[in-house]
Amino acid sequence: MQNRTNRTATSTAPPKERKRHSQADGSSSHQLPQDSLAFALLGASRAVADVRSGMALPQALANVFAGSGATLQARGAIQDIAYRTMRTLGLADALLALTTNRTPEPALLRALLCCSLSLVALPEDVYGKAYEPFTVVDQSVTAAASEPRIAHAKGMVNAILRRFLREHAQLLQKARENPSALWNYPDWWIDAVRSAYPDSWQIILKAGNVPPPLTLRVNQRKTTIPAYLALLAEEGIDASQTGPCAVRLAKPVPVGQIPGFDQGMASVQDAAAQLAAPLLDLRDGMRVLDACAAPGGKTGHILETANVDLIALDSDSGRLARIEENLHRLQLGAMIKKGDAAGTAWWDGKPFDRILADVPCTASGVVRRHPDIRWLRRKNDTRQLAAISAQILDNLWQMLLPDGKLLLVTCSLWPQESEAQAAAFAVRNRATRLPAPGQLFPTADPSREDHDGLFYALFQKQAV
């Protein structure tokens, strides 16, 4: 479920309030030079404030970009700061609590202070580029002064940030006595990881805070791994093979700079997500269902693997459009349908040889790629989404041919959504379980295989 922001981060704020907030936030940044740190800080702060209100970070950033008219370079700077802040929000909140008597208001002011602290409180080798601390202070004050709603607080911004620079060692030590500040997750998330994985919980939490690698899936209908690596080398891009179709870049680059991307030679897809198509054991002529298919990464990989009759199903019209865009770029075709995978209104009654069930989940396994998820999710989301996924799985099983295979995929670390879900499904449906990777974990180690935390379980229906 990589890069599925509508599914993995459900907004909880009233729609009218979110819209009004976002439109207001895009109104004043034209006062600042777009190549300034102040412009980037203010844009990132607007996005962070929207996440606090319940909006997924990609949507929040899209609203900021649309409202500010930011250049591509400015958008990159805004995005970098916003993502960095999401990965360090627990620490930033704790530092604010130590340096202020009450939570700064309005929300934009609090977000600006968190963004600024994220740039000066943490090591650049892990979280991004280094910033000169006093430049951050100066540009943060400039950003505050340019925004009428928080201009009155520019003195507070200056005082809080300068105090942090004077007392940073003591303040960091005190803040990290709070588990949420030490690990940068909500307390319930920390407890859940520790309960599920008592021997490795610290490694898992640390890995989830490290920005992920940029991994590509090479379209072997158009080229080969050696040929594509040579093409990357010609463009000065260092990369290495990390799977049968997977190439990992040593340093991320914008999608527009990936050689052959527009021509469908490669797609951005995590190495773990690239396991789905091979596990389906596809053969030409099969009838295949990709349920909950958006944005279409696995759909494309299935079609690159074999000449199959494929239905790509999703319940959201906007996300269906993304599937179409991806398949158009890859020059591949499928029947794209809008429908609820838990229902049958969309189904023509003809069973499938293979079903990919990439079911809804909390997306706790892709938190390093979508760091806002940890702050948007709630503890009871796991139980609710697991129940929905169980309904989908039972429904899809009825659509599978005898001897057919169904592949359960989640991007969750929680056993209720992964192993416990798979075990219960097998019992309910008397399904034969076949070998599959099970639970994967991010390693955040470039010297090893590095991938997101997906879960795979493969089932075969008994012949009649």
Confidence class for position 26, pLDDT limits 50, 70, 90: very low
Does position 14 have pLDDT exceeding 70, yes or no? no
Which domains, from first to last, does the chain contain?
Answer: 5-183 (1.10.940.10), 186-211+272-464 (3.40.50.150), 213-269 (3.30.70.1170)
Confidence class for position 18, pLDDT limits 50, 70, 90: very low
Does position 24 have pLDDT exceeding 70, yes or no? no
Confidence class for position 130, pLDDT limits 50, 70, 90: confident
Catalytic residue list contains 411: yes
Highest mean pLDDT among 22-26, 248-252, 432-436: 432-436
**Pick from 115, 3, 104, 12: which is nearest to 55 by CA?**
12
β pairing state of 400-410 and 352-358? parallel
Confidence class for position 31, pLDDT limits 50, 70, 90: confident
Does position 77 have pLDDT exceeding 70, yes or no? yes
Residues ≥6 apart with Cβ < 8 Å to 191: none
What are the structure tokens assigned to 13, written together? 């704020």
pLDDT value of residue 102 = 87
Whole-angstrom distance, CA of residue 259 vs CA of residue 234:
10
pLDDT value of residue 55 = 97
- Are the C-beta atoms of residues 229 and 247 closer than 8 Å to each other? yes
Cβ neighbours of 140 (radius 10 Å): 27
Does position 27 have pLDDT exceeding 70, yes or no? no
pLDDT value of residue 127 = 61
pLDDT value of residue 44 = 98
Whole-angstrom distance, CA of residue 84 vs CA of residue 316:
29
Higher pLDDT among residues 147 and 27, named by residue: 147
The region of weakest confidence among 55-64, 91-100, 346-355, 444-453 is: 444-453
Sign of the Cα pseudo-torsion (255, 211, 296, 237, in order): positive
Confidence class for position 15, pLDDT limits 50, 70, 90: very low
pLDDT value of residue 126 = 59
Does position 7 have pLDDT exceeding 70, yes or no? no
What share of residues in the chain are helix, strand, coil (percent, to 5)?
50, 15, 35
- Are the C-beta atoms of residues 252 and 217 closer than 8 Å to each other? no
Here the contacts of 257-262 (C-beta below 8 Å, separation 24 or greater) are: 258/216, 259/228, 259/231, 259/232, 259/234, 259/235, 260/222, 260/223, 260/228, 260/231, 261/329, 262/329
Catalytic residue among 114, 245, 361, 411: 411
Confidence class for position 122, pLDDT limits 50, 70, 90: confident
β pairing state of 246-249 and 215-218? antiparallel
Confidence class for position 447, pLDDT limits 50, 70, 90: low
pLDDT value of residue 47 = 98
What are the pLDDT digits (tens) for 260-309?
A: 999 999 999 999 999 999 999 999 999 999 999 999 999 999 999 999 99
What are the pLDDT digits (tens) for 88-112?
A: 999 999 999 999 988 899 999 999 9
pLDDT value of residue 302 = 98
The region of weakest confidence among 49-58, 157-166, 420-429, 444-453 is: 444-453
pLDDT value of residue 5 = 37
What are the structure tokens assigned to 41, written together? 């800080």
Does position 118 have pLDDT exceeding 60, yes or no? yes
Is the pTM higher than 0.85? The answer reads yes
pLDDT value of residue 17 = 35
- Are the C-beta atoms of residues 216 and 258 closer than 8 Å to each other? yes
